[in-house]
């Protein structure tokens, strides 16, 4: 007699119910998501990935942390996730224009995708609004940078005519354009001379590329007494600050204000002697990592699609208050 024929209809019924319940539970237990970042060595992204892993441990899902520093690496990361049975991933892409190719690959594997920090741009040049996104409110945070620079210039009594603004830019990246435009606008509204804003285009979003971008601009502009420096993130502002040091500009003549509030800034504030790095607008990378991972998990398990676009805000962090702000933001 086969096993099934021994079941009474009632027992058989409950066996089916049990196996269905067991399956739902197994599905819940088996959630795996990827967290792919463009700069795995930067403190901001290390924090995001760690926070995602932590929320996974709390809620019971696995997070595979991966690097995606170029298109090829991102596509292999997605293949890798598929082979591990992942149902989706959070990504900060190395190039926002990879959006359509990344979505293509994800759809082949039926994976759900959320972008963090840098939003995909479609072939029409517009943000891909159908992919849920969480990132800084770039323009507003840029304005906070501009305000911090303006206030500090006033506190030091600098005549704006004698100040050069080093704007380290990355025109291909909307995240960067929004932030640096916000900062420039505030300076201009406060009477900063437009001709004194000098662009230093960087090829990447790290300290080295900013240093290389800033150096020639500084060396060609010795008519200024003071420098203010801003960029899309603190890593880049630090590149600019290092370049002023290289040209022997006194740290008292430099006001650099970044964005992020992560390890790079903490290390700078912890130095015994102050540098030209005045402050940074800190945003909770922990919150970015947790929220996106949790949203993706809920989407996978409960079918609840995350908000189309969530914008986060920031707080000015300087040498004087950095430890307090760090603790407040749970960094």
The only residue of 49, 209, 260, 280 in contact with ligand GLA, by rule CB under 6 A? 260
204 binds ligand GLA (CB under 6 A): no
Site residues for ligand GLA, window 98-117 (CB under 6 A)? 117
175 binds ligand GLA (CB under 6 A): yes
Shortest Å distance, C-beta 71 to ligand GLA: 16
Closest CA to 209 of 179, 250, 238: 238
Contact 234, 258 (CB under 8 A): yes
48 binds ligand GLA (CB under 6 A): no
Sign of torsion over alpha carbons 94, 98, 101, 104: positive
Count residues near ligand GLA (CB under 6 A): 12
* CB closer to ligand GLA out of 221 and 312: 312
Helix or strand (DSSP H, E) at 58: helix 43-59
Site residues for ligand GLA, window 207-236 (CB under 6 A)? 232-233
Tally of CA atoms within 13 A in the half-sphere of 268 that contains its CB:
27
Per-residue interface string for the shown chain with ligand GLA, residues 27-46, x marking contact by CB under 6 A = -----------------x--
CA angle (308 as vertex; 234, 32 as ends), nearest 5: 80
Strands (E), the chain: 32-37, 62-67, 88-92, 112-116, 133-136, 163-169, 197-201, 226-230, 254-260, 277-282, 309-312, 315-318
Per-residue interface string for the shown chain with ligand GLA, residues 270-309, x marking contact by CB under 6 A = ----------------------------------------
92 binds ligand GLA (CB under 6 A): yes
What is the distance between the alpha carbons of residues 218 and 226, in angstroms, rounded to a whole number?
11
Query: Rounded to whole angstroms, what are the CA distances from 150 to 139, 178, 192?
Result: 16, 18, 9
The only residue of 136, 148, 241, 293 in contact with ligand GLA, by rule CB under 6 A? 136
* CB closer to ligand GLA out of 142 and 276: 142
* CB closer to ligand GLA out of 94 and 276: 94
95 binds ligand GLA (CB under 6 A): no
The only residue of 135, 142, 239, 276 in contact with ligand GLA, by rule CB under 6 A? 135
What is the distance between the alpha carbons of residues 178 and 229, in angstroms, rounded to a whole number?
16
Provide the binding-site residues for ligand GLA, judged by CB under 6 A: 44, 92, 117-118, 135-136, 175, 205, 232-233, 259-260
């Amino acid at each position: 007699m086969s096993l099934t024929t021994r079941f009474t209809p009632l027992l058989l019924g409950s066996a089916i119910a049990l196996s269905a319940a067991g399956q739902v539970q197994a599905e819940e237990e088996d959630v795996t998501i990827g967290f792919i970042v463009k700069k795995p060595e930067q403190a901001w992204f290390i924090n995001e990935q760690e926070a995602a892993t932590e929320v996974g441990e709390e809620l019971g899902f696995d997070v595979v942390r991966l690097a995606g520093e170029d298109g090829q690496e991102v596509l292999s990361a997605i293949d890798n996730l598929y082979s591990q049975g992942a149902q989706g991933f959070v990504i900060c892409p190395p190039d926002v224009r990879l959006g359509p190719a990344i979505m293509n690959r994800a759809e082949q594997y039926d994976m759900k995708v959320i972008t963090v920090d840098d939003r995909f741009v479609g072939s029409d040049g517009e943000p891909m609004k159908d992919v849920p996104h969480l990132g800084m409110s770039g323009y507003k945070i840029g304005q906070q940078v501009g305000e911090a620079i303006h206030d500090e210039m006033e506190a030091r009594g600098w005549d704006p005519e004698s100040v050069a603004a080093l704007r380290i830019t990355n025109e291909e990246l909307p995240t960067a354009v929004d932030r640096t435009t916000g900062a420039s606008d505030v300076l201009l509204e406060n009477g900063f001379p437009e001709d004194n804003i000098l662009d230093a285009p960087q090829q990447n979003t790290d300290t080295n590329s900013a240093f290389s971008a800033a150096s020639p601009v500084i060396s060609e502009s010795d008519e200024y007494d003071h420098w203010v420096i801003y960029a899309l993130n603190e890593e880049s502002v630090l590149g600019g600050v290092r370049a002023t040091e290289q040209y022997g500009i006194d740290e008292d003549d430099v006001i650099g204000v970044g964005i992020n509030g992560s390890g790079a800034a903490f290390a700078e504030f912890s130095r015994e002697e102050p540098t030209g790095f005045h402050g940074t607008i800190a945003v909770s990378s922990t919150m970015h990592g947790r929220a996106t991972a949790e949203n993706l998990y809920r989407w996978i398990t409960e079918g609840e699609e995350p908000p189309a676009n969530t914008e986060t805000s920031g707080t000015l962090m300087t040498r004087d208050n950095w430890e307090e702000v760090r603790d407040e933001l749970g960094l």
